[in-house]
Copies of this chain bind each other. A is one copy, B any other.
Amino acid sequence: MTERTRIGRLAERGVTDMEQIRAILNEGVVCHVGFSVDGQPYVMPMAYGHEGGQLYLHGSVMSRLAKSLAEGIPVCVTVTLVDGLVLARSAFHHSMNYRCAVVLGRARELTTQEDKMKALRCITNHVVPNRWAEVRPPNAEEIAATTVLALPLDELSAKVRKGPPKDDAADMGLRVWAGVIPLRTVMGEPVADGDAASYFVMPAFLKSPDLK
């Protein structure tokens, strides 16, 4: 934790336990990547993966996003899980239950084929566990066409809100429904492409979905 990642307000929501932060990174499907170009911040959703103290991102070598990040500019990667809507008796105390991890730093472009492959495998398997072993791996051309970035998990923090609304004592008698509406991400019925459904082996992941 640094001065930049210190939780300012509502410090009781701050999480510094690395296991909890890792659990948030494990559960997220996309991250939101923030960076500035010519003084204008941009926030873009990206797939990601993490292992060995590194968070991996990738993009086409042609994309402005990947080009900008590869220059080693300061970046912020945020993973947010929205767990519920918190409905209080007063408008003021409405809130959300969430878990949010934030990583600050500078991304480094991976250059060797071996490093890039390892990172791409990590990203693929983060989104769909064990998927890498089931598909055709990238060839040299595809790897060359992909910018792969590593951001060290050095400067990071998390913020978590959970539990019921916190209404003022004076509002407890109001005839208003209050409580939490849980939200979660679920998978729908897989839609096979072309002949895939009839001929081929379902991914291990889909046989026992453990994503959500």
Contact = CB atoms under 8 A, between A and B. Distances in A.
Interface of A: 4, 8-9, 29-30, 32-36, 39-45, 47, 60, 62-64, 74-78, 80, 82, 84-85, 87-92, 94, 96, 98, 100, 102, 104, 120-121, 124, 127-128, 131-132, 134-138, 142, 146, 164-165, 167, 171-172, 174-194, 196-197, 199-203, 206
B206 A181 contact: yes
B9 A63 contact: yes
A112 to B, nearest CB: 18
A187 B39 CA distance: 39
B138 A90 contact: yes
A211 to B, nearest CB: 8
Given A45-B100, A142-B92, A182-B191, A82 B124 contact: no
A201 B183 contact: no
Given A47-B96, A176-B196, 13 more contacts: A9-B60, A9-B64, A36-B36, A39-B74, A41-B75, A44-B100, A45-B78, A45-B100, A94-B128, A176-B200, A176-B201, A177-B202, A179-B192
B185 A165 contact: no
B176 A136 contact: yes
B186 A186 contact: yes
A183 to B, nearest CB: 6
A45 B138 CA distance: 34
A173 B61 CA distance: 28
Contacts of A180: 190-191, 193
Contacts of A134: 176-177
Interface centre among A45, A82, A84 (most CB of B within 10 A): A45
Contact of A34 (B34, B189, B196, B203): B34
Contacts of A62: 8-9
